[in-house]
Amino acid sequence: MRLLFLSFLFLFITTNISAQHSRVWGQINKEDWDLEVFEEDPDAEALVLYDVAHSKFIDITEEKGSFTVYGYNIEFTRKKRIKILKQSGIERANLSIGVYEAKGEGEKFRYLTAHVYNRDEKGSIQKTELNQESIYKEKINDNFSRYKAACPDVKVGSIVEYTYTLESPYKFNLYDWEFQTDIPTLYSQYRIDMIPFYEYNFIAQGLDKFDYHTSYQADTKRSSKYYGVDFYDVINVYGMSNIPAFKEESFITTKDDYLMKMDFQLSKYQASKTTKKEVMSTWPKLCNDLIQSERYGVYLKDSRSIAKKVLAKEISNLSQDKKEKARQIIEYVKKNYTWNGNYSYSATQKAKNFYKIRKGSSADINLFTVSLLREAGLKSRPVILSTRGHGKIKFNYPYMSFFNHVIVFVMEEEFKYLADASEKLISYNRIPVNCMNSRGLVVSANSDDWVDLEINANSQNKIVLNLTINPDSLKCSGNVTIQALEYAAFYKRDNYKDDTDELKDYLKKNGFESDKVKSINFEKLEMPYIIAAQGNSEIESIEGDLIIKPFLDFPYLENPLKLKTRDYPIDFALTREDQMESTIIIPDNYKPYELPESISIDNNLVKTNLDYKQEGTQLVINGLYAIKKSIYEPNEYSTIKEYFQTIVDQFNKEIVLVKR
Amino acid sequence: MTQAEPPAEVIFYNTSIDISNSGRTVLNEIQIQINNESGLEYSQLAFTYKSDDKLKIKSAQILDIQGNIIKELKKSDFKKSSNYSSGSFYEDSEMIKFDLHYNSFPYQIKYVYERQTKEYYTVSNWYPYIDDEIVHQNYQLKLSQPFDYKVNIKVQGNFDTLIENGSGQIFYTWKSIEPLSYKDEKFAPDFYDYAAHISIIPEQFVYDVSGSQRTWKEFGDWIYDLNKNLDELTFSDSYQVKLLTDTIDNTIDKIRVLYHYLQDNTRYINIPLGTGGMKPYPAKYVCENKYGDCKALSIYMQALLKEAGIKSYTVDIIAGDPHEELDTSLPGQFFNHVILCVPVNGDTIWLENTSQINPFNYLGPFTQGRWALLIDSGNSHLVRTPSIDTSDVLCSSTLQFKLENNKEAKVNLTYNVRGNVFGYYNYAHSHISEEDNKKRILRVLNFDKAEVEKFSIYKFNRDARSIKIEAEINQQNAFKNFANKTVIYPENIGFPKMESPEEREHHLEIEYPIFKIDTFIYDISSLNYTDIKFPEDKFIKSEFGRYKCNTRQSGSEIVHIKLLQINSGKYPKIKYPDFYSWIESSKDFDKDFKIILTNN
């Protein structure tokens, strides 16, 4: 009873608070004016008072020759009101609306208007309207434009309201709705007037339930000339109140995976008077449609004939051994074709053109690779996926829009691996970290086969230091060898490009001034990448005592986790292991004042060892720290944070050498 | 293993300019060798053009290293779009983009494009560079112009020059003698001042209206004409001026009130349209929209002042930090910004009209100490904006540490900032969240293990030229313990990072001074010690500035004060070793400074 009462009271209070702020276009309440700082988030530069949108199906008629074609477009109207709370929030009144115009065949920008309200010291209110001549169209490319307008007379304290209407012929993709943005929102609502000829699924993310939801039949009867039936719109309204600003944290995939929002996808439509057609309603069907499409199936077919030529002329000494042959082919693609930086799950140009210019999207490259492998008699399938930056796939909802990338699955009996030929510096049988996002769909006829992308990928460094202390020059000289395996090797190859100066800079940042550096295996991607250097490092002297850092600045110098608490999982993408070995020759007349205590931690989350030994004039320090999981849950945050702090504190601990 | 191969180099950059009655035609032919993948950025090309210009890409080719054509781009390879990449909110200009990508290195690209322009005020401000980071082997400019077409020419750098006459035309050719590359260095001349270039300015021109660049006065007259009659206010703004200023007697106070009104009611938005973006929007446009670019906001401010009976002048200036020096001997349109100058009782007030947060009468590093053109009917002339001097830039901090035995410390910070540091905190005060400010102050202090308990940025008043930052910080590793010693390391005062004299290419050029004083007060009453040691006082002075460090023990407190002053000025390269040695010796002392407490 008590619980129920409390929740009722809570509901009453929230309703009451939001009722004080106007949600009526053109009407501003006293409470809207009086709000100068948003107490719940005093840092907020602006506050969304309301953000309300409405999608509906409107009748359209098109004359096609002597026929009149009847159909529907979706009209999307949005009304938004913002209060500017700080100087930095003024930019929120610079409006920019993206429209996918597709050379006149796509969305249409119908209307934009904005009002700015200001209240002076005496309380009189001035309303300024956006001049229609101040709306500019910026063409980004043949398909996409932005409509831009800077609202007039905006200052701290202004209330800006604007509305715009877009019209879209794309029924497969009803306008999505984000309840949450990077500033707080008092009320956000989305209304969709559904008609019986289209059915949609939606995914609500980041929320357990709507604060407001209603569904009812409209009063007005409509009739469809195309289907020859009368019908009523069914109106659905979804609302959320008091939505906090989304604040980005480190180690997340993409904010799109966490924002409060609704995504819609067409699931069925009325194909004729009597039949409803399923749209992408199963993964196998989605695979089949993809295979039949021009940009996928046809591209694969076209590239197959090019592959024949390539195998005959461009790859010399193609091995008979299947494993070796697959490697040769993937490495050939990596070496000779360049990724243009665009992800795609289907080709973005004709196979012939890609072969000619040797540059293309990830799909152009990887589908071409699949064709080469197949033409060479190797079993291979494309795997479509969503990169980490593109967000997570919701596996219960078979929609193509989840995907943005395709990679290669080599699937021989004796060996199976995933490959991405668009990333040049990663081994032929590895995929970049950005691909490691849950699972990918293996594309073949009627396929519902998924492959795990979060393959136990790790990043391993082994750093070996051999140093001799010279108390006269206050330097220790010797050599450093860094052996990087797996993803650690990729990052080093990618960051320093095997360039001597870059490598010297890297060592210098870690406290080692090198006069000679060499590296091994830069091009042998499946081998460890090894950096070996000779040089020296400065040591500190305090009244004759020498202070040394056994691992120089190679360990973490500060804790990468800064926040006190954490709401989202900590997604490192990789497990990580850093091993360090330092052998230090100390001068005869010096000895360690004391050696730090050894430590050893090993549990299911992390592992650390640090061990000090002295053998005559030789100090040997062995250390290791490992992050065992690629993703930690929010409730593990404080443990992991503390663990990083232990690493920072212990691995950077100095040893004091005093005179005997 | 590779030894830094340059990503690309420009084989030639040739420009031909033809002046005729129908306008100006500029033909550019450029060939670049791309050596490796990092050089591929030079294969992605984009050219912008205004709607009334004609831009034609005549050819774009991929060549092998011997110069044989591998591929020639077709018309469909050239993509058109709006010029949306610039800093403006919207621009009435377009862009053509294409990509000369190839996969086998090294290879070359060659492209030829032509621009036809009917109206222009500069024949050419020719900087034959693709990028200041790569070497340009050969560059050449040709100019063909009617005999009676008068131009002023400035040539910087070494060129072979050839002048020929024939059939009523003059033909100039400037051919490079040496390859050019530029190294980016600290306290060095701006690229645009250093690099070889040729400026060709016509004495007479037509750009919407006809004008002259024979003298600064005549060019100023042309700008004056563009600005003429734009300073009309709406009734409501005129009325506002009266309300705001009627009860004020003092002229400076009137200007201040109107400047605050401008700041509180307008914002900067750049939408360059009309006369190539040269003609300002009228004051009424700003009255209605309450926004505008630097020209419009300056005209509007001028109109507000005029309404209050105060005469002011717009001033065209090259803004930037560092900035390109205006060549006072070559009148022409080189400016990128407009400010306002108001003479009052023999003094001058300077107004930056695009900032909502700048103090009144304040020119920061963006516009300080340089020549600029004051626009006045029949009397336009060059003026010099006031230079920032040492007292304008003094930043002083006091850090009080209460040290505890467990290495923790309660730290109280007071930080007074001026100059460009003021510019940052003035922005942070209104634009950066408290959480981000807290993170930043720990980075500034170089505290890696600490938490900011309290933080505030205090502006004494809106026109103050300094800001006070106060913070309370809990530091967890305030000192280190080694054997029986406790060692305190005061943070370095912050020296510029300079290259060694052997590596240095440029002379020394310090645009404005640096002056800071840091005070560290350590309360060591909670620590156990029997002896305290710290280095003796230090004073290192040179013609470039001074470094000073004093440390005293007073009771259970150690007070450590240091000062760094670097004067502004230009010095020949021969002096660089002296500067370097002064900076390095001061830096070494500062870096090695530590306070050692021994407990025996």
Q: Which of A513, A452, A447, A456 is closest to A480 using CA atoms? A: A513
For residue B112, give both structure tokens. 């030829």
Is pLDDT above 80 for A11? no
Asked if the Cβ–Cβ distance from A359 to B99 is below 8 Å, we say yes
Asked if the Cβ–Cβ distance from A155 to B290 is below 8 Å, we say yes
Residue B77 CA to residue B80 CA, distance in Å, equals 10
If one counts every other C-beta atom within 10 angstroms of the C-beta of residue A352, the result is 11
If one counts every other C-beta atom within 10 angstroms of the C-beta of residue B250, the result is 10
CB-closest option in B103, B430, B434 to A358: B103
Q: What is the mean pLDDT of residues B508-513?
A: 94
Asked if the Cβ–Cβ distance from A43 to B265 is below 8 Å, we say no
3-state secondary structure of A614: strand
For residue A605, give both structure tokens. 């989350």
Q: How confident is the model at residue A10 (pLDDT cuts 50, 70, 90)?
A: very low
Burial (Cβ within 10 Å: 0-12, 13-18, ≥19) of residue A394: middle
Contacts of A131 in chain B (CB under 8 A): 288-289
Q: How confident is the model at residue B87 (pLDDT cuts 50, 70, 90)?
A: low
Q: What percent of chain A has pLDDT over 70?
A: 97
Residue A61 CA to residue A72 CA, distance in Å, equals 8
Is pLDDT above 80 for A55? yes
Q: Which of B269, B305, B311, B306 is closest to B286 using CA atoms? A: B269
Contacts of A500 in chain B (CB under 8 A): 1-4
Is pLDDT above 50 for A8? no
Return the pLDDT at A14.
Answer: 39
Q: Touching check for A464 and chain B: CB below 8 Å?
A: no
pLDDT in tens, B334-361: 999 999 999 998 999 999 999 999 999 9
Return the pLDDT at A2.
Answer: 28
Q: Which residue of B34, B291, B531 to mutate against A (max A Cβ within 10 Å)?
A: B291
Is pLDDT above 70 for A1? no
Burial (Cβ within 10 Å: 0-12, 13-18, ≥19) of residue B234: middle
Residue A326 CA to residue A337 CA, distance in Å, equals 17
Residue B223 CA to residue B213 CA, distance in Å, equals 11
If one counts every other C-beta atom within 10 angstroms of the C-beta of residue A489, the result is 28
Asked if the Cβ–Cβ distance from B439 to A562 is below 8 Å, we say yes
CB-closest option in B81, B269, B432 to A141: B81
Return the pLDDT at B271.
Answer: 80
Residue A574 CA to residue A454 CA, distance in Å, equals 9
Contacts of B289 in chain A (CB under 8 A): 131, 134, 150, 152-153
3-state secondary structure of B263: helix
If one counts every other C-beta atom within 10 angstroms of the C-beta of residue B318, the result is 19
pLDDT in tens, B249-290: 999 999 999 999 999 999 999 887 656 678 889 999 999 999
Q: What is the mean pLDDT of residues A15-31?
A: 77
Is pLDDT above 50 for A139? yes
Residue A423 CA to residue A435 CA, distance in Å, equals 11
Return the pLDDT at A17.
Answer: 44
Q: Which amino acid is at B403?
A: L
Q: B255-287 burial, b if ≥16 CB within 10 A, otherwise e?
A: bbbbbebbbebbbbbbbbeeebbbbbbbbbbbb
Distance linking the first and last C-alpha atoms of chain A: 77
Q: Touching check for A501 and chain B: CB below 8 Å?
A: yes
Contacts of B37 in chain A (CB under 8 A): 338
Asked if the Cβ–Cβ distance from A545 to B485 is below 8 Å, we say yes
Beta strands B508-510 and B209-212: pairing type? Answer: unpaired
Contacts of B277 (CB under 8 A, 6+ apart): none
Choice among A149-158, A640-649, B70-79 with the minimum mean pLDDT:
B70-79
How high is the mean pLDDT of chain A?
Answer: 91
Return the pLDDT at A317.
Answer: 87
B450: closest chain A residue by CA: A562
Contacts of A153 in chain B (CB under 8 A): 265, 289-290
Q: How confident is the model at residue A12 (pLDDT cuts 50, 70, 90)?
A: very low
Residue B459 CA to residue A354 CA, distance in Å, equals 60
Residue B134 CA to residue B213 CA, distance in Å, equals 34
Choice among A271-280, B23-32, B275-284, B305-314 with the minimum mean pLDDT:
A271-280
Q: How far is B345 from chain A (nearest CA, A)?
A: 33
Is pLDDT above 50 for A498? yes
Return the pLDDT at B383.
Answer: 97
Is pLDDT above 80 for B244? yes
Asked if the Cβ–Cβ distance from B82 to A131 is below 8 Å, we say no
CB-closest option in A141, A357, A500 to B4: A500
SS3 sequence of A407-440: EEEEECCCCEEEECCCCCCCCCCCCCHHHCCCEE
Return the pLDDT at A280.
Answer: 58
For residue A196, say if its preceding peptide bond is cis, omega within 30 degrees of 0: no
Q: Touching check for A474 and chain B: CB below 8 Å?
A: no
Return the pLDDT at A575.
Answer: 92
Determine if residue B230 is left, alpha or beta; phi over 0 gives left, psi from -120 to 50 gives alpha, anything else beta.
alpha
* Cβ atoms B318, B324 nearer than 8 A: yes
CB-closest option in A43, A90, A340 to B435: A43
Is pLDDT above 90 for A473? yes
Q: How far apart, in Å, are the Cα atoms of B592 and each of B488, B561, B576, B585?
A: 11, 15, 24, 11
Q: Which one has a higher pLDDT value, B66 or B546?
A: B546
Asked if the Cβ–Cβ distance from B482 to A518 is below 8 Å, we say no
pLDDT in tens, A353-385: 999 889 999 999 999 999 999 999 999 999 999
Q: What percent of chain B has pLDDT over 90?
A: 79
Is pLDDT above 90 for B433? no
Asked if the Cβ–Cβ distance from B485 to A543 is below 8 Å, we say yes
Q: Touching check for A563 and chain B: CB below 8 Å?
A: no
Q: What is the mean pLDDT of residues B573-587?
A: 97
CA dihedral B418, B424, B428, B430 (to 10 degrees): 80
Contacts of A126 in chain B (CB under 8 A): none
Cα angle vertex A67, ends A66, A72, to 5°? 145
Q: How confident is the model at residue A281 (pLDDT cuts 50, 70, 90)?
A: low
Return the pLDDT at A268.
Answer: 87
pLDDT in tens, A69-84: 888 999 999 999 999 9
Q: Touching check for A296 and chain B: CB below 8 Å?
A: no
* Cβ atoms B135, B13 nearer than 8 A: no
pLDDT in tens, A416-448: 999 999 999 999 999 999 999 989 999 999 888
Map tokens 């313990």 to a residue. B481
Determine if residue B167 is left, alpha or beta; phi over 0 gives left, psi from -120 to 50 gives alpha, anything else beta.
left
Q: How far is B274 from chain A (nearest CA, A)?
A: 14
Return the pLDDT at B85.
Answer: 64
How high is the mean pLDDT of chain B?
Answer: 93
Residue A387 CA to residue A403 CA, distance in Å, equals 8
Return the pLDDT at A3.
Answer: 28
CB-closest option in A90, A518, A648 to B267: A90
Q: Which one has a higher pLDDT value, B104 or A237?
A: A237
Q: How far apart, in Å, are the Cα atoms of B431 and each of A86, A88, B28, B264, B443?
A: 8, 5, 44, 15, 18
CB-closest option in A87, A90, A138 to B82: A138
Asked if the Cβ–Cβ distance from B89 to A94 is below 8 Å, we say yes
Q: What is the mean pLDDT of residues B582-594?
A: 95
**Rounded to the nearest 5°, which phi and psi values hold at A414?**
-80, -25
Q: Which of B313, B268, B314, B318 is closest to B293 using CA atoms? A: B268
Return the pLDDT at B4.
Answer: 65
Return the pLDDT at A13.
Answer: 36
Q: How confident is the model at residue A116 (pLDDT cuts 50, 70, 90)?
A: very high
* Cβ atoms B139, B128 nearer than 8 A: yes
Burial (Cβ within 10 Å: 0-12, 13-18, ≥19) of residue A469: buried
Contacts of A517 in chain B (CB under 8 A): 1
Question: Which helix (H) or strand (E) covers residue B522, if one does?
Answer: strand B514-523
Determine if residue B526 is left, alpha or beta; phi over 0 gives left, psi from -120 to 50 gives alpha, anything else beta.
alpha
Asked if the Cβ–Cβ distance from A131 to B434 is below 8 Å, we say no
Q: Touching check for A500 and chain B: CB below 8 Å?
A: yes
**Rounded to the nearest 5°, which phi and psi values hold at A427?**
-55, 150
Distance linking the first and last C-alpha atoms of chain B: 54
Asked if the Cβ–Cβ distance from B480 to A134 is below 8 Å, we say no
pLDDT in tens, B174-206: 999 999 888 889 999 888 888 899 999 999 999
Q: At what angle do helices B235-245 and B251-265 cross, to 10 degrees?
A: 130
Contacts of B99 in chain A (CB under 8 A): 359
CB-closest option in B264, B435, B485 to A155: B264
Contacts of A656 in chain B (CB under 8 A): 482-483
Contacts of B237 in chain A (CB under 8 A): none
pLDDT in tens, B446-461: 888 899 999 999 999 9
Q: Touching check for A547 and chain B: CB below 8 Å?
A: yes
Return the pLDDT at B24.
Answer: 95
Q: Touching check for A499 and chain B: CB below 8 Å?
A: yes
- ipTM for the assembly: 0.84
Residue A438 CA to residue A394 CA, distance in Å, equals 10
- Cβ-Cβ pairs closer than 8 A, A with B, add up to 120
Q: Touching check for A119 and chain B: CB below 8 Å?
A: no
Q: Which one has a higher pLDDT value, A418 or B133?
A: A418
Q: How confident is the model at residue A15 (pLDDT cuts 50, 70, 90)?
A: very low
CB-closest option in B71, B81, B430 to A87: B430
Q: How far apart, in Å, are the Cα atoms of A544 and each of A540, B485, B598?
A: 9, 12, 13
pLDDT in tens, A328-338: 999 999 999 99
